[in-house]
Amino acid sequence: MAADRSSVDFPVSVVLPAAGSGERMGLSTPKQFCSVLGRPLLYYTLQAFLSVGWVREIIVVVSQDWLQETSEILQHFPTPSRSKVTVVAGASTRHRSIWNGLKAVGTDTDVVVLHDAVRPLVEEDYLRRIVLAAEEHGAAGAVRPLISTVVSPTKTDGMLDHSLDRSQYQASEMPQAFRYPAIMEAYQKCSDHDLDFGTECLHLVQKYAGVSAKLLLGPSSLWKVTLRKDLYAIEGVLKEELWKNVVILSDCKLPLSQRLHKDIQEQLSSEVVLFNDQEQLATTCQTMATLIVTKSFPCDFEKTRDTVSKVLDGTNIGDRRVMVLLLCGETPALDTMPRLFNFTRDIAKETKKHSAVINSVYVDSQASSDAIDRAVAMVISLIRQRDPALSGQVFVAQ
């Protein structure tokens, strides 16, 4: 039975409706194009689906006025990824835009996924469950428990008429998935009223294609960026995602490396890996979010530059991942600190194409325990903030 399968071995297409104007946010820029950590929100949703190997194609539906901006977003992805994406113009309403996207889907597709472009937190395991359920039942959708009780006012004076038992209802979310023939039949048969005023795709498939959707309880990450405050919330969530994978590359037995390993693990709940060999990085580059290089003076700046360049070239940065270069050791010669400042500034410029954030933190290995504490706190703060405005800066713990 399809429900018992753990892998997706049939063609899957994704339609991302992104043609909304974002009126509820009260901004001149549609929310899907608002900047989060230096990238438009749509970028992160695309990144999530492009990371799923079994997704064959992605149709992005945007307003005619934002076609050029969408093409520019795609330039941040490598060519093999961009080739999976097709951009089409939207229409005056959500359902009409989705219909435009569905008409661009390859006809040999088995299952079509619909997902809001302003829901960037897509978990592959849950997406797989939705797709397999749709393949078995014809349609499947994500649901979440209702948070607030739903009440109905009287039409005449706005007084309370009745309330609903929220335990009997659930909130419909995204993603939703459909067998391709079912979703096409529903949109071909639905009325102009449905296309102009409808909101629920699962209902259209039930009404016009006779397919009842399987509802799957989804994770809390399925929430939709709707209001201006949600932009701040999603920025915090995306930053936390980038804290998870930290690599420390240390070419010397510095107690500070062990201290960093322990404190980062405890304070950021990160998975921290400690290496002493650059070659060991090869299997870690793709998932690494933060690299900390610890050095002792005198250090070989050119070798360090080569290390950083190789790691960045082998990593799909693209989302403001930070590279913290922690240089520590004996008190440096008089000309070393200027070299450190120039090195940090220059490598930040050279790696700007990767959207990486480059910082250096200096602390003398013979410094007091208070200075070591401050150095570790600086590193953790830089990992948390990963602020592109600070890229190229050197911080000294004394």
The residue to which tokens 């259209």 are assigned: 204
What are residue 226's DSSP bridge partners? none
Please give the full DSSP string across 180-224, using - where no structure is assigned.
HHHHHHHHHH--HHHHHH---HHHHHHHHH--PPEEEE--GGG--
User: What percentage of residues in the chain have a pLDDT greater than 90?
Assistant: 47
| Statement: 2-235 belongs to CATH 3.30.70.20 | no
Closest to 45 in 3D by CA, of 123, 117, 100, 129: 117
Whole-prediction pTM: 0.77
CATH superfamily of 244-396: NAD(P)-binding Rossmann-like Domain (3.40.50.720)
C-alpha span between 255 and 390 (Å, rounded): 27
Cβ proximity of 85 and 60 under 8 Å: yes
pLDDT in tens, 322-380: 677 777 766 667 777 888 899 899 988 887 777 788 999 988 877 788 888 898 999 99
C-alpha span between 185 and 205 (Å, rounded): 8
C-alpha span between 14 and 54 (Å, rounded): 11
Q: What pLDDT is stored for residue 293 in this prediction?
A: 85
Q: How many CB atoms lie within 10 A of CB 31?
A: 27
Give backbone dihedrals phi and psi of 6, rounded to 5 degrees, phi first.
Answer: -110, -5
C-alpha span between 244 and 314 (Å, rounded): 18
Helix count and strand count (H, E) for the chain: 13, 17
> Does residue 272 sit in helix, strand or coil?
strand
C-alpha span between 254 and 328 (Å, rounded): 9
Spell out the per-residue pLDDT of the chain, length 398, in tens.
344 467 899 999 999 999 876 565 556 788 999 988 778 999 999 989 998 999 999 999 999 999 999 999 998 887 888 999 999 999 999 999 999 999 999 999 999 999 999 999 999 999 999 999 999 999 999 999 998 889 999 989 999 999 999 889 999 999 999 999 999 999 999 999 999 998 899 999 999 999 999 999 999 888 899 888 899 899 888 878 777 778 888 765 667 788 888 898 888 888 788 777 666 666 666 667 788 888 877 778 888 888 787 777 766 544 446 677 777 766 667 777 888 899 899 988 887 777 788 999 988 877 788 888 898 999 999 988 888 889 999 998 88
C-alpha span between 112 and 106 (Å, rounded): 10
Q: What is the DSSP letter of 168?
A: G
What would the two tokens of residue 312 be? 């960045």
Provide CB contacts within 8 A for 283, sequence distance 6+.
Answer: none
Q: What pLDDT is stored for residue 210 in this prediction?
A: 97
Instruction: Evaluate the omega torsion of the peptide bond into residue 298 and state whether it is cis, within 30 degrees of 0.
Output: yes
Could you give the residue ranges of the DSSP H alpha helices within 75-191?
79-82, 94-103, 124-137, 180-189
Q: What pLDDT is stored for residue 50 in this prediction?
A: 92
The residue to which tokens 């008409």 are assigned: 103
Alpha carbon of 380 to those of 16, 142, 260, 321, 377: distances in Å? 36, 36, 9, 14, 5
Q: How many CB atoms lie within 10 A of CB 266?
A: 11
Q: What pLDDT is stored for residue 315 in this prediction?
A: 61
Name the residue ranges covered by the structural domains of the chain. Answer: 2-235, 244-396
Could you give the residue ranges of the DSSP H alpha helices within 214-366?
228-243, 255-268, 301-313, 336-350
Q: Please report, in angstroms and rounded to a whole number, the separation of the first and last CA atoms in the chain.
A: 64
C-alpha span between 140 and 61 (Å, rounded): 21
What would the two tokens of residue 288 be? 């690494």
